[in-house]
Amino acid sequence: MKPLHIAILGCGTVGGGVARILTEMQEELSARASRPILLKEIVELNPTYASQRFNLPIELFAGGGKDLTPDEASSFIQRLIHSKDIDLIVETIGGTNDFVYNLSLDICKAKKHLVSANKSLLAERGKSIFEAAKNSNIMLGFEAAVCGAIPIVKTIKESFTGDSIISISGIMNGTSNYILSKMKSEGVSFKEALKSAQKNGYAEADPTLDINGHDAGHKLIILMKLAFGIDLAIDQLSVKGIENIEKEEFDFANEIGSTLKLICYGKQIDGEVYATVCPMMVKNDNFLSEVNGATNAIRIVNKYSGKHILVGTGAGSYETASSIVADIVFAARYADQVNYTHEKSKLKFIDARHFVFPYIITFRTGDTPGTTGFITTAIGQQKINIDTVSHNRHIKNKATFSVVTMPCTMKQVEDAIEKIKLEKPDMLLSEPKIIPILY
């Protein structure tokens, strides 16, 4: 059978892992694909370093193994895109800039199968890339774009095609989960936990996208498209990070039998779809509360088959590369059977402020008699039933306490807070923190 010839663009952490697996497991992968899988060429600016780092033959690199300028690399890439000898291209350059975006479009238009781990590109600019793949009838593989080694994309696309997904909830960013786990287990501050994550290689020097929730948001956008057929822009998604989480919130979590996690959540109900990424108080009997460190986990609830949980490593060179290689093997076996006849979703996307959750609201006020009563009355006036009110924590002339609500909408909670501000402008010493509770 005709071999599947592969080119890799970029040989950094992920691309190098892909090349290493393809060269080390060439015979096994070819047997699984029922056809030879051959890595033909790699385009990399610094091939000598990549060759040594991943133990790769230098002759695999474009340009004979010499360092390339960006212009030289672009020239080699264009040659590969238009080469009749290349069937599939792996893009591991990363980023959302015009160069990578147009490169992805060019690959699809040239009718080369494309495999990518570029979650930010697919989430922010993926609509036209998916459309180009459809028009060219080529396979677009992106298993590695969501939670690394966890096969969530194939699970939704293939294993659940006989069911209807009701909700998706998950821990999809290892950096934030490591930080929150550290804060809980050792009682350290956010800054201390972040430093530990950076020291141990779980956080980048610039961890902004991890701690502000946008990395997780990109992954949720991709899953929302797969599960519900909804195309979302990142600015449509309600996203909050963990940078403002404080130690005392773990005390409040403990009081209500919960722990804090950064959760990606999407749900369909009565023809409407909601989605959010934010810190949540996860109840201790929910499996996600037990997922610690840099581990990722996704919980899916289906209409007919019930609850499913996938747990694994969400990042890493070889972990992510293994998902890319799985897409390559799938392409070798089934790419000629690609079918893009998916029905357009009839579901309506609704602002997360109208989504019903129980909430825990943390207030900082002056230590004045009657404060708790006034605040709980204002909450009740918005037709919100209160579950519990915590004990006040007193520090000098200030008080901190939390109110746990029964299920209501974020809009109701926000309206209650606005009423408090209007009637007692000096009562609140800071903006109340509103955190959903996940059962």
pLDDT of residue 337: 80
Q: Say whether pTM exceeds 0.85.
A: yes
Has residue 428 got a pLDDT over 80? yes
Per DSSP, helices labelled H in 65-118 are 70-81, 98-109
User: Model confidence at 389, in pLDDT bands (50, 70, 90)?
Assistant: very high
User: Model confidence at 339, in pLDDT bands (50, 70, 90)?
Assistant: low
pLDDT tens for each residue of 147-170: 999 999 999 999 999 999 999 999
DSSP 136: H
Task: Tell me the mean pLDDT in the region 75-80.
Answer: 98
Name residues whose C-beta falls within 8 Å of residue 297's C-beta, 6 or more positions apart in sequence.
170, 171, 287, 288, 291, 309, 310, 311, 312
The DSSP H or E segment spanning 119 is: helix 119-136
pLDDT tens for each residue of 60-70: 999 998 999 99
pLDDT of residue 346: 85
User: Model confidence at 323, in pLDDT bands (50, 70, 90)?
Assistant: very high
Residue tagged active-site, from 112, 182, 184, 219: 219
pLDDT of residue 341: 55
pLDDT of residue 69: 97
Has residue 335 got a pLDDT over 90? no
3-state secondary structure of 273: strand
Has residue 342 got a pLDDT over 70? no
pLDDT tens for each residue of 350-377: 998 999 999 999 999 998 899 999 999 9
User: Is 111 noted as a catalytic residue in this protein?
Assistant: no
pLDDT tens for each residue of 253-307: 999 999 999 999 999 999 999 999 999 999 999 999 999 999 999 999 999 999 9
Phi and psi at residue 30, in whole multiples of 5°?
Answer: -65, -40
pLDDT of residue 344: 66
Q: Are 273 and 267 in contact (CB under 8 A)?
A: yes
Has residue 343 got a pLDDT over 80? no
% of the chain residues with pLDDT over 90: 93
Has residue 212 got a pLDDT over 80? yes
Q: Are 86 and 7 in contact (CB under 8 A)?
A: yes
Q: Is 240 exposed, middle or buried (0-12, 13-18, 19+ CB in 10 A)?
A: middle
% of the chain residues with pLDDT over 70: 99
Which residue segments constitute the domains of the chain, with CATH numbers given?
4-148+318-337 (3.40.50.720), 152-312 (3.30.360.10), 355-438 (3.30.70.260)
Task: Tell me the mean pLDDT in the region 391-405.
Answer: 91
Spatial separation of the C-alpha atoms in residues 71 and 77, rounded to whole Å: 10
Phi and psi at residue 61, in whole multiples of 5°?
Answer: -90, 140
Task: Tell me the mean pLDDT in the region 207-234.
Answer: 96
Question: Other C-beta atoms within 10 Å of 31: how many?
Answer: 12
